[in-house]
Structure 1
Amino acid sequence: MTGTPASPNPSTSVTDTISQITSKPLYTHSTWGYEVSDLATGEALLSQTNDTMFVTGSILKAYSTVAALAVYTPDYRFQTPVYGIGAIQDGVLTGNLVLVASGDFSFGLRDQADGTLAFNSLPEVDHNYADTGLPGPVLLKDSDPLAALNQLAAQVQAAGIREVQGDVIIDDRLFETFDGWPDGSIAPIWVNENVLDITVTPAGQQVTVDWRPQTAAYSVRAGDIRIVPAGGETQLNAELVQSGVVQISGQIAADANPLQIWQIPNPADFARTAFIEALARAGITVSAIATGANPTNLLPPAATYSETQKLAEHTSPPLSEFTKVILKVSYNRAADLMVCLVAVQNGDRDCPAGIAPVITTITQLGVSQNSTFMFDGAGSDERDRTTSTDMTTFLRAVAQQPYGAAFREGLPILGVDGTLATNQKDSPAAGKVQAKTGSRIHGTPDDRFLITGLTHVGYIEAESGRQLVSAVMLRDVPLASLDELFTADGDLGALEVAVQQGL
């Protein structure tokens, strides 16, 4: 094994406990790497294979969210305005209504009255994971996918508009919509985070299908769905079978009520339809047909909008709330969005161009370009790599930055919330470990699974009162079933408990 010797020597009880965890038969063919350092001094207290690169999984989101916080600041708010382009007389806009997308991924869906964004914590899984096979995805409680559009429509009506004799257009020129990363399309406009949430409910030998948001853009129907006995396996798949029609097929257990998602391939077209319908609900007539392609050819030149043309605007909660959602639920496409927004701030409209300035930011925070490699913003690319030393160095430096508190407050808390809510819930360390989690797992042709990366990185408030930074990484773990993933993740949590209690 490689690594920097830890000093001073930790107590025997801590090292013994860690040895018991890492030497379990499950890890006979696996590799562990970790580093625990003093937050204030940087002194390495525990380390093993700490200079070796590991597959990151979602801990890479720490890099992309910090870069966004650094260039935009935690207090930044997304402003999504609506402009009337044309003459307005007696409540009639003769011209076009334009909604200018800002990259607000919540866009009302997660917005709370107290200025925060809502998120699910395990065992409830975020709806964006409803197509991954993970158990427990549910809709966010009391959420409204069309909230921001309804608010904007009401503002347009309050501005005196009752009719639009023209078209409605989504200006999505903030950056080029990009679909080259593993988790799907990243666009400047987000309505219901650009997915349809589909719920399938067995009823005897039939199923009922419901979905949201319901618009004229898409309907959802049941295809060939086989109902299997209660407790059986549920496997469903949604696909576009004809223009505007999504079909869900597969099999469902008689006692299941699963959530499935389908990613919308044309976010601007979808948002346009949904906005025209919101305007209708607000009593505003639009002469254009609600469905169809977003007519970007009718857009005015970029950056020519004036305040006098503004009819409405949606203002988001602060960016710190968005990065919190990304980190707490491990939201892949939103982490990719942060890279796109970094590119925009760097004067580029191509999402991949955001990777270089992210690397520049984290390099300035002590990360080595020789041992950290980034191919997306979410950690979903199997080529993403970092080391535990890079992570602890980075975490120490982040803590000294103006955005450091916002980043730390966004991390999942062991035994309390986010992806760590059920991990070590009843341990004495619950509530005292804040860490981003990551995992990369692959099914095999013979129905087994292989963990290529399982990771936790973050901050620990030790029982002694000492403040620590920690990075724990594991790779190449064979699993007989997906349930063993949670066993292994629990072992990473148990290692953090040993550190929290013993240092």
Structure 2
Amino acid sequence: MTLLRRTFLGFSGVALVSSTVLHGQDAISFESRFEEIRKDPAFIHSLFGVAIYSLDRKQLIYSWNGETLMDGASTTKVVAVGAGMALLGPDYRFRTPVYRTGPIRSGVLQGDLILVGRGDANLSSRVRDRDSLIHVDEDHSYGGYDAVPLPGNPVQPLVDLARQVAAAGIKRIEGRVIVDASLFPEGTREVGSGATISPITVNDNMIDLVVHPGQPGAPAQITASLRVPYIGFDNQIRTSATGSPLMIRLSEKRAPDGNIRVTLSGQIPAGAKPYLQPYFVASPSRFATALFTQELSRAGIALQMPASADDTGAGAELKRFYTPENRVAEFVSPPFSEDAKVILKVSHNLHATLIPFITGSLVAGKPELAETRGPEARGFTLARKFIASRGLDLSGAVHSHGNGSSLFSPKFLATYLAAMTEMPFFAKFRDGLPVFGKDGTLGDALPNSPATGRIVAKTGTSAEPDLLNDGYMLKAKGLAGYTTTPSGERVAFAVLLNRVPIDARVGDGVAMREKVRTIGGNTVARIAEAINLYPIRSPR
């Protein structure tokens, strides 16, 4: 399954007459507008679901397949983030410490240095200052022509930690440099981007590979955002004719010594913009060990033992050194509400997936969770208890991944969003959502729409190849958020669209993404726009 970047561009379908033209005509209602959209021949095999909940009347005021379980794709990140804010608190800050296991004598650490992963997803250049993170609308973890590496040094927090170690008087380390990634199990690939889940996350556990085309027939050029000694790249990408499709493949081989060779092959068309291809590392703890070792050396600290593949993880015998007197450095993150913006505005899969792992590790330990298997399952148990405490019907929710890929009824999503308005952290939750036509994955929604700036909502997209028909199936496109009706009534809404065939040849990911945007994305955006522009005449 592939979860794709969620944006919207213009689409002039047969039935999708511009709302800008219709706005102001009294005969138009939300129902008539929705029917016009729904009856487009492109959706003859598709399923629509809509639920609109009045925050003022505290009741459902419109439902179309509202009770039907549908693929919500990344709209369901609102559930993970809401539960995370409730369980951790919006002001929670991750602390990433560094400990020593021996004394410091004459500038020499007679022992090991241990960097402890505590779940911070933003050990990267996203950190603007102690209280805020930056985000860009086209996140680098999705790759693509419009994506670029995050601005700044991708390992700046490690630079800060290394400088703190040096300031603690350490000039040479006789022991090892170790990354402790034991907070929860490392190694599972999250289902959206393919990034590896770990308690330690440096630059989203990826290397940005930017492919630059040359002249037709010439090799392409590749620049990498990070270099580590154990990963090498072989470039076999050629420049193809202008207008030809982009095709990039990655393959890797592991040597007996643990080193990795990654081969990039395929083609990029001449005249195209540079293309960002993410490479997600298999072992984030090893990746972090190599990067932290480099920064310690740059800080003027001599290392007696080079980093190896074995210098990851930490046994119980090392944890006895995790005391205030042995702490030589610590990186403190901005508040969790800032990461909520990264998750919701750019739909960050890895960060959302980490939430149940983190809550299940940091909040768990209560008697009722003793029999629950694993930190992720414990996190979902805590989320379930939170959702149930808000009086919501969990029969309308099937949730297995923090980033989406689950089934929800439109009614559940709308009522969940309504429940969030009663939480003390609601303002920060709402501020994390993309703004229609302004930022995040809604930044380019319906240009010049009268609803610009008047809708905040989480987007979602899920698509997969249709090999039988040499095309793609848009499994899900969705929006879930808040707006007002023409009468000024405040509402929470969910709009889901499932099962839309996409006419793009398998392998042509660029064409597929474009059609997903112009067909699926624009459709759910126009339905959300209609909630804001036109009166809802029927009660249910």
Task: Report if TM-score (shorter chain) is over 0.5.
Answer: yes
Deviations 1:156-177 (A, max 9, x none): 1111111111111111111111
Following superposition of structure 1 onto structure 2, how do residues 421-436 of structure 1 map, counting pairs within 5 Å? 421-436=443-458
Is residue 398 of structure 2 the alignment partner of residue 373 of structure 1? yes
Worse overlay, 72-81 or 359-368 = 359-368
Give the aligned partner of residue 415 of structure 2. 393
Tell me the CA shift for residue 291 of structure 1: 3.8
Is residue 148 of structure 2 the alignment partner of residue 138 of structure 1? yes
Following superposition of structure 1 onto structure 2, how do residues 72-83 of structure 1 map, counting pairs within 5 Å? 72-83=88-99
Instruction: Tell me, in whole angstroms, the C-alpha distance in 1 between the residues paired with 2:300 and 2:502.
Output: 57
Worse overlay, 423-432 or 462-471 = 462-471
Following superposition of structure 1 onto structure 2, how do residues 71-470 of structure 1 map, counting pairs within 5 Å? 71-113=87-129, 115-121=131-137, 125-130=138-143, 135-140=145-150, 142-179=151-188, 181-183=190-192, 184=194, 185-204=196-215, 205-223=218-236, 225-242=237-254, 243-256=259-272, 257-296=274-313, 300-302=317-319, 304-344=321-361, 345-347=363-365, 350-380=375-405, 384-445=406-467, 446-470=469-493
Alpha-carbon spacing, 1:206–1:178, altered in 2? closer, same or farther (3 Å): closer
Is residue 62 of structure 2 the alignment partner of residue 40 of structure 1? no
Give the aligned partner of residue 4 of structure 1. none
Residues 163 and 299 in structure 2, CA contact (< 8 A), matched pair in contact too: yes
Alpha-carbon spacing, 1:332–1:297, altered in 2? closer, same or farther (3 Å): closer
Is residue 536 of structure 2 the alignment partner of residue 501 of structure 1? no
Is residue 501 of structure 2 the alignment partner of residue 478 of structure 1? yes
Deviations 1:55-109 (A, max 9, x none): 1101121111111111110000111111121011111110011111111111132
Instruction: Tell me, in whole angstroms, the C-alpha distance in 1 between the residues paired with 2:356 and 2:27.
Output: 42
Give the aligned partner of residue 3 of structure 1. none
Matched residue SS, 1:317: coil
Instruction: Tell me, in whole angstroms, the C-alpha distance in 1 between the residues paired with 2:58 and 2:178.
Output: 53
Alpha-carbon spacing, 1:295–1:457, altered in 2? closer, same or farther (3 Å): closer
Deviations 1:263-288 (A, max 9, x none): 10111111111111100100001111
Tell me the CA shift for residue 150 of structure 1: 0.5
Residues 67 and 342 in structure 1, CA contact (< 8 A), matched pair in contact too: no
Report the identity percentage. 31
Is residue 43 of structure 2 the alignment partner of residue 27 of structure 1? yes
The one-letter amino acid paired with 2:303 is: V
Instruction: Tell me, in whole angstroms, the C-alpha distance in 2 between the residues paired with 1:114 and 1:101.
Output: 18
Q: Which blocks of at least 5 consecutive residues in structure 2 are unaligned?
A: 1-25, 366-372, 505-511, 536-540
Give the aligned partner of residue 11 of structure 2. none
Residues 216 and 290 in structure 1, CA contact (< 8 A), matched pair in contact too: no
Matched residue SS, 2:521: helix
Tell me the CA shift for residue 178 of structure 1: 4.5
Give the aligned partner of residue 7 of structure 1. none
Tell me the CA shift for residue 293 of structure 1: 2.5
Tell me the CA shift for residue 306 of structure 1: 1.2
The one-letter amino acid paired with 1:353 is: R
The one-letter amino acid paired with 2:146 is: G
Deviations 1:476-498 (A, max 9, x none): 11121323311221121111111
Residues 171 and 299 in structure 1, CA contact (< 8 A), matched pair in contact too: no
Instruction: Tell me, in whole angstroms, the C-alpha distance in 2 between the residues paired with 1:76 and 1:374.
Output: 24
Instruction: Tell me, in whole angstroms, the C-alpha distance in 2 between the residues paired with 1:144 and 1:22.
Output: 47
Matched residue SS, 1:411: coil
Residues 388 and 472 in structure 1, CA contact (< 8 A), matched pair in contact too: yes
Deviations 1:368-391 (A, max 9, x none): 2222111211113xxx21111111
Residues 416 and 425 in structure 1, CA contact (< 8 A), matched pair in contact too: no
The one-letter amino acid paired with 1:146 is: V
The one-letter amino acid paired with 1:248 is: L
Give the aligned partner of residue 6 of structure 1. none
Instruction: Tell me, in whole angstroms, the C-alpha distance in 1 between the residues paired with 2:60 and 2:393.
Output: 17
Residues 210 and 220 in structure 1, CA contact (< 8 A), matched pair in contact too: no
Residues 117 and 317 in structure 1, CA contact (< 8 A), matched pair in contact too: yes
Alpha-carbon spacing, 1:68–1:200, altered in 2? closer, same or farther (3 Å): same
Matched residue SS, 2:501: strand
**Would you say how many aligned residue pairs link Structure 1 and Structure 2?**
483
The one-letter amino acid paired with 1:411 is: L
Residues 181 and 312 in structure 2, CA contact (< 8 A), matched pair in contact too: no
Residues 285 and 312 in structure 2, CA contact (< 8 A), matched pair in contact too: no
Instruction: Tell me, in whole angstroms, the C-alpha distance in 1 between the residues paired with 2:165 and 2:130.
Output: 24
RMSD: 1.9
Alpha-carbon spacing, 1:108–1:484, altered in 2? closer, same or farther (3 Å): closer
Alpha-carbon spacing, 1:349–1:175, altered in 2? closer, same or farther (3 Å): farther
Instruction: Tell me, in whole angstroms, the C-alpha distance in 1 between the residues paired with 2:223 and 2:197.
Output: 25
Matched residue SS, 1:245: strand
Matched residue SS, 2:385: helix
Q: Which blocks of at least 5 consecutive residues in structure 1 are unaligned?
A: 1-9
Instruction: Tell me, in whole angstroms, the C-alpha distance in 2 between the residues paired with 1:22 and 1:309.
Output: 64
Instruction: Tell me, in whole angstroms, the C-alpha distance in 1 between the residues paired with 2:486 and 2:227.
Output: 51
The one-letter amino acid paired with 2:517 is: F
